[in-house]
Amino acid sequence: MTYAVRHVLLALGASLLLCPLSGCGLIRHASEQSQKEAAPLFESDPVRYRVDIRIEGSTKDDSAIRAAMEKHSLLVQMRNQPPDGIIGLMRRARIDRENAVRLLHSLGYYDGTAKTEVEEPRNEGDPAAATLILSPGPLYHIGRAALSYSPLPAPLPSFPGITPESVPEKLSLKEGEIAEADHVLAAVDDIPPALHRAGYPEADIASTRYTLNKNQKTLNADVVVDPGPAAVMGEARISGADSVEPAYLQKLVTWKDGEPWNDRRIQDYRRELQSLGLFRFVDVKAAPSSLGVPEKNSDVLKLPVLVKVRESSFRTVSAGARYATDTGIGVQGEWQHRNLFGAGEKLTLKAPFAQDKRGVQADFEKPAFGDRDQKLLAGSSYLREDTDAYETTALNAYAGVERKISPDWWGSVKAFGEEGTVTRGVKDEYRYASLIFALRRDTRNDIMNPARGTYVQWEAAPTTGYYNGNFSGLSTKITASGYHAPFGIDWLVLAVRTSLGSFMGADINNIPPSLRFYCGGGGSVRGYSYQAIGPKDKYGDPRGGSSFHEINLEARFRVTKDIGIVPFLDGGMVYEDEFPRLFQDFQWGAGIGLRYYTPIGPVRFDVAVPLEKKSGDKGYQLYISIGQTF
């Protein structure tokens, strides 16, 4: 061992012996220095930052590109959640750079690139800077858009009265239009559903090939479709219906046996079953081709439709309440059975109890009566009504049919009869019978809280009966309402309704009070007492009239998801003449309402005042109930 080596070993041993006394100060100092130099790599303090998005080059879509990038930028969306250190910020910037390239491509800038720059704060307390730079490059347009079939679609057999939809011959892409990725992909995705409606339920995309022509700056799309077998519609095979008769569900099918396959019929049938209120689960789909039966001398298959349902409870007990300063508190209990005899028959029993109406009421409805689009309607009630205009105790009954004429139109006819007593100073008997014809069109998007669409109903009822002598006449009434969201969203809905009616051919003194027309109250002209508008008798009580006209205007503002405010204006008048004098002698009421929106409909609280207050009118009226006024 040399002299030099021996000295090195002695020095090393001495330092090890001194460690317990010195606390390894040399080693500790070196470790602390190393940690200090490495601190930025393990920095954990949150770093505030600002974001700058720049568009390089000249494009007319700068603002649109910037807005789209802000919507998809992780840096922008998480700006209020600072990352842990500069490295965390750089990680976000890298993700945004990748998102930016994908965004540019989706907008048709297939040569687009992006880069990011991250600068640390220059002074303590300053935010870091994250800059995202997008270089869109030239905008690409659609070049070739080719659609082909392999194999070619088999021809469909003819069917009386039905022409199948056409097989798509090309993509819905036009040469020269901007090659936005979403638009291109949507055009391709539209092909299979179109074929499913045109007789080919298993059609699918076989292959797609997208190529870019860098010289011409165009995108070419070559799409090959496998149409699958041609098919016609067969029977509905129903499973899961235990208490509901399958024969009833078979009667509701929306297609004819052997007609060309059309998925729209499947969707219509699914909606039909869901609307019955009998099932908590409904699945309707085409059977696989392996279950199809070949048609004679043809390559066409007859495919069954597989229907799977799970039944829900058929019985419902419910209650409702309302309050108005003119009619007081009212409650109503209701019991309903929606599958009384196993074929969707609906029986509803109601028991209203209020200051103005008390009694019991039963309504029966049998769907698919003779035809899938026709219902049998029947009902009866025993009611006592007590208003300022009259007091009646009456028994009535009705029976009729209602038919769905088209998706938006319904027509009905029913026979109605009523007999009872009425008191207006003295007690009299009355009875009458009517044949009521009705036509209805309804395109509202929601019955309880419509935001768009219209509703129109017309009724005509030839009536004959006895009250202070025999009478005969024709009662007519029309109601129309419309709903419009001017900004395309439901935060503001403008609603309007007008109603008018007439009873022709009978003297007012021979028309039973319950058949006359009245205005005023929560469902009519708010601000006035129930039935208070119009002619009065010698005692100052409402007399009713032979005709009426009223109008309601509302602006429904939705302040939050659950709260809304509704200013409104109502007007109307009752006339002794047989024909209403439109907008003449109107009495107007105005007010404001509060709406609390619930899953079953809005809870309504309205305050209204009469604008033409007369003797006996209160200064204001309050109304509380469920559902919009109209």
pLDDT in tens, 287-338: 999 999 998 878 899 999 999 999 999 999 999 999 999 888 999 999 999 9
Which amino acid, 422?
V
Helix ranges (DSSP H) in 476-595: none
The H or E element containing residue 597 is strand 587-598
Instruction: List the one residue out of 392, 393, 395 whose CA is nearest residue 417.
Output: 395
pTM of the model as a whole: 0.76
Average of pLDDT values for 524-530?
95
* Range with lowest mean pLDDT among 414-418, 536-540, 542-546: 536-540
CATH architecture of 231-311: Roll (3.10)
- For residue 571, pLDDT over 80 is answered with yes
Pairing of strands 426-442, 409-424: antiparallel
Q: What is the mean pLDDT of the chain?
A: 90
Half-sphere exposure of 3 (CA within 13 A, CB side): 0
Average of pLDDT values for 247-251?
95
The residues, ordered by sequence, that sit 6+ positions from 92 with a Cβ below 8 Å of its Cβ are 74, 75, 78, 83, 130
CA gap 444, 408 in Å, rounded: 9
Which strands sit side by side in the sheet containing 49-55, from one edge to the other?
A: 49-55, 128-135, 113-119
Average of pLDDT values for 58-83?
91
Contact 580, 501 (CB under 8 A): yes
The residues, ordered by sequence, that sit 6+ positions from 439 with a Cβ below 8 Å of its Cβ are 409, 410, 411, 457, 458
Q: List 480's β-bridge partners, or say none.
A: 456, 498
Q: Name the class of domain 49-135.
A: alpha beta
CA gap 559, 593 in Å, rounded: 13
Beta strand extents in 325-469 (DSSP E only): 328-337, 346-354, 357-366, 374-386, 391-404, 409-424, 426-442, 453-466
Average of pLDDT values for 597-612?
92
- For residue 13, pLDDT over 50 is answered with no
Tokens 């009869």 sit on residue? 417
pLDDT tens by residue, 158-187: 999 999 999 999 999 999 999 999 999 999
Q: How many residues does the chain have?
A: 630
CA gap 493, 451 in Å, rounded: 6
b/e code 24-43 from CB counts within 10 Å (16+ = b): eeeeeeeeeeeeeeeeeeee
The whole-number pLDDT of residue 482 equals 98
CA gap 27, 9 in Å, rounded: 18
Residue 389 dihedral angles phi and psi, to the nearest 5°: -85, -35
Domain boundaries, the chain: 49-135, 141-160+167-226, 231-311, 315-626
Contact 490, 450 (CB under 8 A): no
CA gap 176, 51 in Å, rounded: 36
Report percent pLDDT > 90 for the chain: 83
Angle at the Cα of 54 from the Cα atoms of 48 and 57, rounded to 5 degrees: 165
pLDDT band with cut points at 50, 70 and 90 for residue 70? very high
Read off the tokens for 7: 């000295």
Which amino acid, 554?
E
Contact 260, 241 (CB under 8 A): no
Average of pLDDT values for 410-435?
95
Average of pLDDT values for 466-476?
97
- For residue 200, pLDDT over 70 is answered with yes
The whole-number pLDDT of residue 58 equals 67
- For residue 57, pLDDT over 90 is answered with no
Please return the burial class of 483, using the count of CB atoms within 10 Å of its CB with bins 0-12, 13-18 and 19+: buried
CA gap 79, 34 in Å, rounded: 33
CA gap 222, 43 in Å, rounded: 52
Contact 286, 261 (CB under 8 A): yes
Contact 612, 587 (CB under 8 A): yes
CATH code, 141-160+167-226: 3.10.20.310
Read off the DSSP letter of residue 175. T
The whole-number pLDDT of residue 11 equals 38
- For residue 28, pLDDT over 50 is answered with no
CA gap 418, 359 in Å, rounded: 15
Read off the DSSP letter of residue 164. P
Instruction: List the one residue out of 402, 359, 404, 360 whose CA is nearest residue 377.
Output: 402
Domains 141-160+167-226 and 315-626 in one fold: no
Choices 2.40.160.50, 2.60.120.10, 3.30.200.20, 3.30.300.30: CATH for 315-626: 2.40.160.50
The H or E element containing residue 38 is helix 25-38
The H or E element containing residue 272 is helix 263-274
Helix ranges (DSSP H) in 467-563: none
Instruction: List the one residue out of 566, 569, 541, 568 whose CA is nearest residue 556.
Output: 566
Contact 51, 70 (CB under 8 A): no
- For residue 5, pLDDT over 50 is answered with no
CA gap 253, 322 in Å, rounded: 40
